[in-house]
């Protein structure tokens, strides 16, 4: 039985984010019914995107423009657990179908509203697309090259992320309603999901660190060279990886200069020599030859896989990540499965529906007892939806900590476990005072990604540390790590042992490639996820090399792990059985390329990198504005928007210009059009352009710089940044989460723990360690609050 068997979900979404949210709930076993407008239902296009988004759903038609249709929809909602929708804020309220109205009839109902900017704030009615979200969400400012226009990612990852957050919000609300029988209105903002993908540039600058700017080729943490049959990427983070890379390429003298790892000016100076050696090394090798040669030296190499190449990936095939499916009207093809192995997932997959089905069983309330809500309570209590859950958090760097921070923000008790001898490596990155003895407490990245946790130290190599960890596991609901597959087993805490200690525990392991397959022991981090997962190949300037997503895929896998945990807990609470969940961080990103993987098989073509351009619409780009490195995105998707843009620019002559008279003509003359618009925007302020165009319904977004995110009117209105004070670093403002609940909290609650900050609190209060024993543990080096250099 899947985790959400018996749960009833109505999918009223008409965009990627809401549809993907409902797809995730369907994958978890929920009975999901798409509700479509009958005027378009039988004419609905079924392409690769639709086949991916609507798998495992049913379909019915309801005309919300009629009284009978609205009454029918209200009856469906009265028999449902969750409604997912993406309408313009206020639309459903105007129809008498807002959350408050529906909840009056069905108090247990949860509504998940996923929109570009959220239900509140001055931008809530702005027109938006993925490019505008990338601009206003701070992504574009840091993505691209410093001497070029800012970039968006080459596929709509921000919308997919909003969809994952929506599914998490629904599962958290489902858990929370057991206390009082009441659901929630969940408000998800794609803008804020974009903000959560960033590498904390607004936090870095508050800490006094060098600003994060567009510089793909300058840092040399990752670089792309052409092998005989495609692109290969060599990446590094650690000094040992840098040394191994230099030796591999035949430039060992560069490894002898330790300043090249931290001094970007010196590093830029050796770029020509370095790239000459890299290109020469790769020129006589295939991608796989180069990949294996680097991985043998523990260099985290990657291949910028295109969708076509992903179909032939040995690792994906060995893990059955790509399964054969069929879709009426399209035929059969390979499509990606969920990026984690779990007994809580649906075992049978259904094609996306192409026609309406009878849903009489829905109105009879089939399966209602499986997810029985609690007794109705008052509607005024603000809840902690995950109160009572305890998470043993072994994760480090960014991917795991991002997810566990969210669990803490939802009310779980997250206990972060480090060792004095081997703390979280993120402590050493971007520290505000590198020369301070306590520099490891001053890392901006660590402070930003580890909020909402208690922190302890345990030496898991010691017998006493193992015993204390065993006690903690016995009292936890979830244990999560992002080590390589062999680490916990070598410590004596493999899945079988953890299950013996606590049969009900949910064990989540987030490794780069997963626990199975020929690449299970290969090394990798965020850049590798981007590359093998397909994002790098679809992103970048037209005619240029692939790009990485600045390891933002760390967030993708971390948030997927939260979804997997909440899904498994639904099954655990019903059966009493825990489980081991194998998350592949590469697959977490590759899953989101599902439409591109399907499209490649249907057409035989791989879409080239397009920068900010769109296959159909033009203009669709980022344009320079008055000032230094100031930009604005402008997109036109309709004739009305084109007419409005022309009027605002004062270029009525374009309405008679044959070069711009139609979508096809504008696309054909796109370069000329971009130059003309750039000439106009260069004389304007970016916010002025955005506000004037948005007032006329044209999609536009100012490209915000990191510190501008802190005082943006929309983000301020929604309280997206919260000030937290912490020892050693003082007070800073940290980004929150893209989830708002009508009667629950999801927020930044506490600053990141200092090393071993909560040793006494957790060990004595939870694990029954006496004060005398606590002192003995400190003297033995099992616990402590200072770094021990090895």
Sequence-ordered list of residues with C-beta below 8 angstroms from that of 586, at least 6 positions apart, any chain: 315, 512, 513, 514, 524, 528, 529, 532, 533
CB environment 108-122: b (16+ within 10 A), e (fewer): bbbbbbbbbbbbebe
Q: What six digits make up the tokens of 600? A: 């490649």
Give the separation between CA 87 and CA 78, rounded to whole angstroms: 20
Cβ atoms of residues 781 and 420 within 8 Å: yes
Sequence-ordered list of residues with C-beta below 8 angstroms from that of 181, at least 6 positions apart, any chain: 107, 108, 373, 374, 375, 376, 377
Cβ atoms of residues 601 and 112 within 8 Å: no
Cβ atoms of residues 401 and 558 within 8 Å: yes
Give the separation between CA 30 and CA 370, rounded to whole angstroms: 11
How is 576-600 classified by DSSP, letter by letter? S--EEEEEEHHHHHHGGGHHHHHHH
Give the model's pLDDT for residue 758.
98
Residue 212 is given by DSSP the state: P
Give which of 753, 208, 199, 755 is closest to 432, Cα–Cα.
208
Q: Are strands 478-481 and 340-341 parallel, antiparallel or unpaired?
A: unpaired
Give the model's pLDDT for residue 367.
40
Q: What's 609-648 look like in SS3? A: CCCCCCCCCCCEEEEECCCCCCEEEEECCCHHHHHHHHHH
Cα dihedral: 697, 132, 64, 370 (round 10): -160
Query: How confident is the chain (790 residues) per 10-residue block, as mean pLDDT?
Result: 91 96 98 89 78 96 95 95 97 97 97 98 98 97 91 96 98 95 97 95 90 66 89 89 94 86 78 92 96 95 94 96 94 96 94 90 58 59 94 96 98 98 91 86 95 98 98 98 95 97 98 96 92 94 85 90 98 95 97 97 94 96 97 97 97 95 96 98 98 98 97 98 97 98 97 98 97 96 92
CB environment 206-236: b (16+ within 10 A), e (fewer): bbebeebebebeeebbbbbbebeebbbbbbb
Give the model's pLDDT for residue 366.
42
Give which of 226, 57, 192, 196 is closest to 115, Cα–Cα.
192
Q: What six digits make up the tokens of 167? A: 């599914």
Give the model's pLDDT for residue 365.
58
Query: 96-100: which pairs have CB atoms within 8 A and are 24 or more residues apart?
Result: 96/70, 97/64, 97/70, 97/73, 99/185, 99/742
220-to-30, 217, 246, 596 alpha-carbon distances in Å: 45, 6, 12, 29
Q: What six digits make up the tokens of 596? A: 């591109």
* DSSP E strand boundaries for 88-134: 110-115
Conformation bin of residue 611: beta by default, left when phi > 0, alpha when psi is -120 to 50: left
For residue 30, the number of C-alpha atoms closer than 13 Å in the C-beta half-sphere is 28
Sequence-ordered list of residues with C-beta below 8 angstroms from that of 126, at least 6 positions apart, any chain: 116, 117, 132, 694
Give which of 204, 184, 9 is closest to 111, Cα–Cα.
184
DSSP 3-state of 574: helix
271-to-33, 220, 245, 430, 785 alpha-carbon distances in Å: 55, 8, 14, 22, 40
Sequence-ordered list of residues with C-beta below 8 angstroms from that of 288, at least 6 positions apart, any chain: 303
Give the model's pLDDT for residue 368.
47
Q: What six digits make up the tokens of 592? A: 């989101």
Give the separation between CA 427 and CA 429, rounded to whole angstroms: 6
Give the separation between CA 34 and CA 45, rounded to whole angstroms: 15
Give the separation between CA 393 and CA 62, rounded to whole angstroms: 45
Burial classification of residue 74, based on how many CB atoms lie within 10 Å of its CB (0-12 exposed, 13-18 middle, 19 or more buried):
middle
Give which of 132, 213, 205, 238 is closest to 634, Cα–Cα.
132
Give which of 597, 446, 569 is closest to 508, Cα–Cα.
569
Give the separation between CA 134 and CA 138, rounded to whole angstroms: 6
Sequence-ordered list of residues with C-beta below 8 angstroms from that of 687, at least 6 positions apart, any chain: 702
Q: What six digits make up the tokens of 513? A: 């490639």
Q: What six digits make up the tokens of 620? A: 């669709």
Helix axes 287-295, 239-249, angle to 10 degrees: 130
Is the N-terminal amide bond of 619 cis, ω within 30° of 0? yes
Cβ atoms of residues 443 and 431 within 8 Å: yes
Give the separation between CA 667 and CA 681, rounded to whole angstroms: 20
Cβ atoms of residues 549 and 588 within 8 Å: no
For residue 695, the number of C-alpha atoms closer than 13 Å in the C-beta half-sphere is 8
Q: What's 751-786 look like in SS3? A: CCCCCCCCHHHHHHHCCCCCHHHHHHHHHCCCCCCC
768-to-471, 603, 753, 760, 763 alpha-carbon distances in Å: 9, 63, 21, 10, 6
Give the separation between CA 458 and CA 464, rounded to whole angstroms: 9
Residue 303 is given by DSSP the state: E
Q: What six digits make up the tokens of 41? A: 């239902």
Residue 351 is given by DSSP the state: P
Q: Are strands 110-115 and 185-189 parallel, antiparallel or unpaired?
A: parallel
- For the chain, the 3-state helix, strand and coil shares in percent, each to the nearest 5, are 40, 15, 45
Give bridge partners of residue 112 from the DSSP assignment.
Answer: 84, 186
Cβ atoms of residues 598 and 333 within 8 Å: yes
Residue 615 phi/psi, 5° resolution? -60, -25
Consecutive H or E run containing 271: helix 271-282
């Amino acid at each position: 039985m899947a985790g959400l068997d018996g749960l009833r979900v109505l999918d009223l979404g008409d965009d990627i984010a809401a549809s993907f949210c409902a797809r995730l709930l369907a994958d978890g076993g929920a009975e999901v019914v798409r509700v479509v407008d009958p005027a378009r239902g039988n004419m609905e296009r079924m392409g690769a995107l639709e086949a991916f988004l609507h798998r495992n759903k049913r379909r019915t038609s309801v005309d919300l423009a009629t009284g009978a249709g609205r009454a029918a929809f209200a009856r469906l909602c009265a028999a449902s657990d969750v409604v997912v929708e993406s309408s313009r804020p206020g639309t459903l309220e105007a129809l008498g179908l807002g959350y408050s109205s529906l909840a009056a009839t069905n108090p247990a109902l949860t509504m998940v509203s996923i929109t570009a900017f959220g239900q509140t704030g001055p931008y809530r009615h702005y027109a938006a697309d993925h490019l505008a979200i990338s601009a206003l969400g701070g992504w574009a400012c840091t993505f691209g090259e410093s001497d070029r226009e800012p970039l968006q990612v080459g596929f709509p990852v921000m919308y997919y992320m909003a969809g994952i957050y929506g599914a998490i919000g629904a599962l958290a609300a489902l858990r929370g309603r057991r206390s009082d029988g009441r659901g929630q209105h969940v408000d998800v903002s794609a803008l804020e999901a974009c903000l959560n993908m960033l590498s904390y540039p607004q936090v870095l600058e508050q800490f006094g660190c060098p600003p994060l700017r567009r510089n793909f080729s300058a840092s040399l943490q990752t670089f792309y060279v052409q092998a005989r049959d495609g692109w290969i990427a060599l990446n590094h983070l650690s000094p040992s990886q840098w040394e191994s890379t230099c030796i591999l390429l035949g430039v060992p003298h560069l490894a002898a200069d330790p300043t090249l790892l931290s001094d970007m000016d010196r590093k830029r100076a050796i770029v020509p020599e370095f790239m000459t050696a890299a290109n020469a090394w790769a020129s006589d090798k295939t991608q796989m030859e180069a990949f294996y040669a680097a991985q043998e030296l523990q260099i985290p190499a990657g291949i910028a896989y295109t969708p076509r190449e992903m179909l032939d990936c040995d690792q994906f095939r060995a893990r059955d990540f790509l399964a054969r499916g069929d879709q009426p009207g399209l035929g059969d093809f390979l499509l990606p499965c969920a990026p984690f192995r779990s007994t809580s997932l649906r075992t049978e997959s259904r094609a996306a529906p192409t026609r309406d089905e009878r849903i009489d069983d829905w109105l009879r309330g089939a399966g209602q007892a499986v997810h029985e809500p609690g007794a109705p309570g008052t509607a005024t209590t603000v809840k902690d939806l995950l109160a009572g859950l305890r998470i043993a958090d072994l994760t480090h760097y960014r991917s795991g900590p991002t997810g566990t921070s969210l669990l803490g923000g939802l009310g779980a008790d997250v206990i972060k476990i480090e060792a004095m001898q081997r703390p979280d490596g993120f402590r050493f990155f971007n520290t505000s005072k590198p020369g301070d003895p306590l520099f490891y407490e001053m890392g901006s990245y660590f402070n930003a990604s580890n909020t909402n946790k208690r922190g302890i130290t345990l030496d898991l190599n010691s017998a006493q540390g193992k015993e204390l960890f065993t006690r903690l596991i016995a009292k936890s609901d979830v244990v999560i790590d992002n080590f390589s597959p062999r680490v916990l087993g070598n410590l004596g805490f493999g899945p079988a042992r953890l299950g013996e200690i606590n049969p009900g525990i949910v064990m989540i392991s987030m490794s780069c490639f997963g626990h199975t397959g020929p690449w299970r022991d290969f090394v990798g981090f965020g850049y590798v996820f981007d590359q093998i997962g397909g994002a790098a190949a679809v992103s970048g300037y037209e005619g240029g090399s692939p790009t990485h997503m600045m390891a933002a895929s760390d967030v993708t896998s971390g948030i997927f792990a939260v979804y997997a945990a909440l899904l498994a807990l639904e099954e655990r609470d019903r059966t009493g059985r825990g489980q081991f969940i194998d998350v592949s961080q590469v697959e977490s990103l590759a899953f989101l390329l599902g439409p591109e993987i399907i499209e490649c098989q249907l057409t035989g073509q791989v879409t080239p990198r397009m920068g900010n351009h769109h296959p159909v619409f033009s203009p669709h780009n980022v344009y320079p504005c008055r000032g230094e490195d100031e930009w604005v995105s402008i997109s036109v998707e309709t004739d009305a928007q084109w007419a409005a843009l022309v009027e605002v620019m004062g270029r009525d002559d374009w309405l008679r210009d044959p070069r711009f008279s139609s979508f096809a003509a504008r696309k054909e003359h796109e370069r000329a059009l971009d130059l003309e618009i750039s000439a106009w925007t260069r004389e304007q302020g970016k916010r002025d352009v955005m506000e004037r165009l948005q007032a006329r319904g044209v999609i536009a977004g100012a490209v915000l710089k990191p510190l501008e995110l802190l005082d943006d009117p929309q983000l301020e209105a929604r309280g997206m940044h919260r000030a937290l004070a912490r020892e050693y670093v003082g007070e800073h403002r940290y980004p929150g989460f893209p989830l708002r609940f009508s009667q629950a909290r999801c927020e930044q609650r506490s600053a990141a723990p200092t090393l071993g900050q909560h040793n006494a609190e957790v060990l004595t209060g939870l694990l029954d360690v006496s004060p005398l024993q606590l002192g003995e543990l400190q003297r033995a080096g099992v616990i402590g609050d200072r770094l021990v250099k090895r």
